[in-house]
Structure 1
Amino acid sequence: MAALVLGALAGCSDASGDAADPTAGPTHRAAAPVRLPVPDGFDTETGWSTTASPEATDLQPGSSGFPLVAVAPRSSLVVQAAADGSRVRAFSLASGKTVWTFTPKALKSARTGVFVEAGKGGEKVVLARQGKTSGSGLNTSRRATTIDVIAADSAAKATAEHHLDLTEPDDTASSFTATDSGFLVGPVTDGVHEQAVVIDAATGAQRTVRAKTVTVPGCGSGSCPVQASPAFATSQGVVSAFQQQDGCDQWAQGGTPCTYGFQVGDVWTSTSVAPSGMRVGIPLAVAGQYLVAAWHTSDTQTDQPALSDTKETTLSVHDLATGKIKAQVRCTSADALTLQPGSAQSSTRLSPNGDFLISGQAGFDLSTGRGHCFMSTASTKGIDLTAVSDDGTAYGIVHAVDQTEATSLYGRLPIAQDGTDTPERDSARVSVRTGTAKALPTAAEVPVYLAADGHGVFRTRDVVAVYPGS
């Protein structure tokens, strides 16, 4: 799961014993955790906490950014990276004790992200860094991206199963695009890559993928060639987004509407699984064996598809392997939110038992195929969901529109700015089963992960805290 920054606190207790580097220090934890203001149902008198570094600002909204905290759910670990990428530490989710530490090769001026991927080889922790080589000896300093893959079940002093050095041109600003089963590195524009490197965490293999022309069915009365660009990688292959350029009405003047869509590896294409009458399909996120997509009946080529109050958006959960729809719901929003490939990845989660899925401002009961909208209306604010439990109880942040590119993207979770206090945010508890929502007390933090045993993981600008259910 991607890390999330929710608020700022004045002080904290440190499980690591080193405020400058939350991943350094002894393996014991403090006697009493920091008591964050959290919803009822969590015991803040027990559990554990550690200091956290502010996360680097993500310059390319829609990518996965530079999270410093991730959860490995199968291994029951909370994984934390130092902001400069000099160390990674894995804590037991339940006890807070250090399970392993990892020290990578040095990289100067590093921007760091830590991610968790699951596959047949088990869970892998991916440490991704952008910085400069040292330039020692006869070697000149150069920009570089390094990828280290560490097994989640490593011994106390972990080593990288795979280490990759990706040289970057001076005029390129790469970004990380991560799902729980795939990893891309490359520049991002409007949620897609013209060229990217796919990293296989299980084998360490890397390959370059590029925008390409493919022929897809369901364009007008037949098939059509489209330019498909890589958006994100999954266990079923790279998901590529496309936009029909020819043989359609680009200006919505009564001709055949143009098609937006996507292709999942070489397995299936959105035009073959679209809900009836839908010609615009945007792949928003992947969680486990599900892909979440947004659908419209038609749109013009001049505007990016958006969630609005003038036209319903169908949000659907698809089987990643087949494209079959597992659940769907129709929603509108009083906020104009751009629908972009991958934009809801940071807010898409499955409950531990797999019965419920949240994505952006929508929640789905996969056992019944029903969904509920938690978008804004003329009288209520939208809720950006952050975590969901096995009984369908979910938590979220009340959406604050501040005219930035990040908040205008549907499903985008907030990331704190460096060196500034994060303003307090309102939060809410919702039921994915019934669609009801209730505001939480002012400034209450919400979990970014909920474990099957009731533990909740909370992440503020300064603290990572884990509390058991009460």
Structure 2
Amino acid sequence: MAALALGALAGCSDTSGGKADPTAGATRKAAAPVRLPVPDGFDTGTGWSTSASPEATDVESGSSGFPLVAVAPKSGLVVQAAADGSRVRAFSLASGKTVWAFTPRALTSARTGVFVQEGKAGEKVVLARQGKTSGSGLSTSRRTTTIDVIAADSASKATADHHLDLTAPDDTASSFTATDSGFLVGPVTDGVHEKAVTIDAVTGAQRTVQKKTMTVSGCGSGSCAIQASPAFATSQGVVSAFQQQDGCDQWAEGGTPCTYGFRVGDAWTSTSVAPSGMHVSIPLAVTGQYLVAAWHTSDTQTDPPALTDMDKTILAVHDLATGKIKARVSCTSADALTLQPGAAQSSTRFSPNGDFLVSGQAGFDLATGRGHCFTSTASTKGIDLTAVADDGTAYGIVHVVDDTEATSLYGRLPIAQDGTDTPERDSARVSVRSGTAKALAAASEVPLYVAADGHGLFRTRDVVAVYPAS
């Protein structure tokens, strides 16, 4: 199976004889869609598909990536951007019909990401690009980051509600860090920003956020001063991650372990909701009104937190507004995966009815508060989950550990490297209710989204396809 990531693909070629348009739309209604090898339960004889050049793929993973496809679930849309950022199209998830198209101001050498934000004003599509202005006439060419915000319910010829032009320093490589309710632009190191700009998709307002000193309680045996760095933005404010710098020495007799943690806006701090004995907490992802975090005891003062087979890690779903734990599960992993802020953002999503949540290699039944781990053991491989249906059936990619950074991080889906062949990967179907897992047939694709009516969104490096339930 081709390597997968949340929404990373361009569209098909224009057959009009002009320049190829990678968002040129779905297969015509009269034509059969491309038949991908998919699990039982999806009808590949109907539905719709697009095709794309193998060069038009994501080359970065996780929440700081540059996805070219996103889903607007409430609007029932699949939104697709051209790799060069020259056009965006929104297709009906059910039919593949083009609902609207958007043509932004031209940039050269652009890198593009498309995201969907949800709020009281409805769903907004955010087109984020890094590139250069044309430098025509008397104007000189310059590097820039542009943000265009388009309403998901736009008319056929969409226009941007907001257009932002952020001058990009020549020595700075910015990334886009997005949740479904917040958006940050800025350089990212190990999952956090030293300095970033947060964008409000509703108003278009921008605000600079940066690393700052604050005092938190619950560091070991008392309060401590820490440096907190922005990780991602949410409806409750910016989530900042921190590591205790002093006042701890776990190696001395009776020493105090160092604390890793995070703060959610001005609402709450991880140390105030920590499970007993847990001194390390990493915010992994946000979706809807929940934040997913990893918790475990402190191992060393220098090594980054990791999910290992030595100590159990609690993976917990927190209420984003209060910090209260909604569901939790204890996991170990034979793969020793690094826990990094925001790393599981691309693999975290709800079932359409909101009863189930998958994140990384764990699935949660929110009604019962129970979860199940699909992590590796000495005899089994881990499963990176990609989608979950209303009945708790989830799908995922069998985790492969290699020398790339993406496979060493917990929760980050594998990404095809630009211009290279993608090895086939094994896949699996799991039950979030029972915790059982079953391998799928060789080369089976897995959905990246399953709609309430059963439509499944699939992608390889060459095709985006939507098939109805069979």
Please state which band the TM-score falls in when normalised by the shorter chain.
over 0.9
Aligned residue in 1 for 2:6: 3
Percent of aligned pairs sharing the same letter: 84
Alpha-carbon displacement from aligned partner over 1:324-371 (angstroms, at most 9, x marks no partner): 000000000010100000000000011001000000000000000000
Q: CA deviation at 1:22?
A: 3.0
Q: CA deviation at 1:140?
A: 1.2
What is the aligned length?
A: 462
Instruction: Tell me the SS of whatever aligns to 1:78.
Output: strand
Q: CA deviation at 1:299?
A: 2.7
In 2, Cα distance between the equivalents of 1:435 and 1:375?
11
Q: Paired residue for 1:55, among 54, 57, 69?
A: 57
Map of 1:78-117 to 2, 5 A cutoff? 78-117=78-117
Q: Does 1:198 align with 2:198?
A: yes
CA contact (8 A) 1:3 1:68 kept: no
Aligned residue in 1 for 2:295: 295
Aligned residue in 2 for 1:178: 178
Aligned residue in 2 for 1:155: 155
Amino acid at match of 1:271: T
Instruction: Tell me the SS of whatever aligns to 1:407.
Output: helix
In 1, Cα distance between the equivalents of 2:133 and 2:401?
39
In 2, Cα distance between the equivalents of 1:36 and 1:239?
39
Instruction: Tell me the SS of whatever aligns to 2:64.
Output: coil
Aligned residue in 2 for 1:9: none
Aligned residue in 2 for 1:133: 133
Q: For structure 2, which runs of at least 5 residues remain unmatched after alignment?
A: none
In 2, Cα distance between the equivalents of 1:251 and 1:469?
57
Aligned residue in 2 for 1:443: 443
1:224 to 1:167, Cα distance in 2 relative to 1, 3 A: same
In 2, Cα distance between the equivalents of 1:239 and 1:27?
41
1:373 to 1:260, Cα distance in 2 relative to 1, 3 A: same
In 1, Cα distance between the equivalents of 2:399 and 2:207?
38
In 2, Cα distance between the equivalents of 1:422 and 1:405?
16
CA contact (8 A) 1:457 1:467 kept: yes
Q: Give the aligned CA root-mean-square deviation in angstroms.
A: 1.8
CA contact (8 A) 2:447 2:457 kept: yes
In 1, Cα distance between the equivalents of 2:107 and 2:217?
47
In 1, Cα distance between the equivalents of 2:154 and 2:389?
28
Q: CA deviation at 1:459?
A: 1.1
CA contact (8 A) 1:15 1:49 kept: no
Q: Does 1:341 align with 2:336?
A: no
Q: CA deviation at 1:252?
A: 7.0
In 1, Cα distance between the equivalents of 2:259 and 2:378?
31
Q: Does 1:239 align with 2:239?
A: yes
Aligned residue in 2 for 1:39: 39
1:83 to 1:330, Cα distance in 2 relative to 1, 3 A: same
CA contact (8 A) 2:12 2:21 kept: no
Between 340-349 and 211-220, the greater mean CA deviation after superposition: 211-220
Alpha-carbon displacement from aligned partner over 1:286-336 (angstroms, at most 9, x marks no partner): 011100000012232200000011111000000001000000000000101
Alpha-carbon displacement from aligned partner over 1:100-141 (angstroms, at most 9, x marks no partner): 000000000111110001001100000011111101111111
In 2, Cα distance between the equivalents of 1:51 and 1:29?
15
Alpha-carbon displacement from aligned partner over 1:396-454 (angstroms, at most 9, x marks no partner): 00001112111100000011111122111100000000000000000100000000000
CA contact (8 A) 1:63 1:177 kept: yes
CA contact (8 A) 1:116 1:180 kept: yes
1:30 to 1:183, Cα distance in 2 relative to 1, 3 A: farther
Q: CA deviation at 1:221?
A: 2.8
Amino acid at match of 2:297: T
Alpha-carbon displacement from aligned partner over 1:204-251 (angstroms, at most 9, x marks no partner): 000100000111110133211110000000000000001111111165
In 2, Cα distance between the equivalents of 1:13 and 1:272?
47
In 2, Cα distance between the equivalents of 1:212 and 1:128?
26
Map of 1:251-262 to 2, 5 A cutoff? 251=251, 254-262=254-262
1:111 to 1:14, Cα distance in 2 relative to 1, 3 A: closer
1:33 to 1:360, Cα distance in 2 relative to 1, 3 A: same
In 2, Cα distance between the equivalents of 1:413 and 1:122?
28
Instruction: Tell me the SS of whatever aligns to 2:346.
Output: helix
CA contact (8 A) 1:13 1:34 kept: no
Aligned residue in 2 for 1:321: 321
Aligned residue in 2 for 1:187: 187
